[in-house]
Amino acid sequence: MAKPDNREDNVPRLQRAITNTIRNMREAEDYLDEHASEIGDEERGRIEAKNERRRESLENLRAEIRDEANHQRQCDC
């Protein structure tokens, strides 16, 4: 039997994921700023591509939070 959908901790879990993703993005940007002269184009490209995926992930996480807020309003949870 499938477990019922427990959405109680969704928003805090999503917010933690957003916070961690932003922190990782900033750390990568700081690394690029500090070591720009020491890293090659390939490594720079990998880091920049990863940050782009992080930006996309942030958009998706924020959309999930909006969906969760809509769900809570609909069911008066």
68, 10 contact by CB (below 8 A): yes
Prediction pTM value: 0.83
Q: How far apart are CA 21 and CA 1, in angstroms?
A: 34
At 8, give phi and psi (nearest 5°): -60, -40
If pLDDT is split at 50, 70 and 90, which confidence band does 69 have?
A: confident
Give residue limits of the domains in the chain: 25-75
pLDDT tens sequence across 9-64: 888 999 999 999 999 999 999 999 999 899 999 999 999 999 999 999 999 999 99
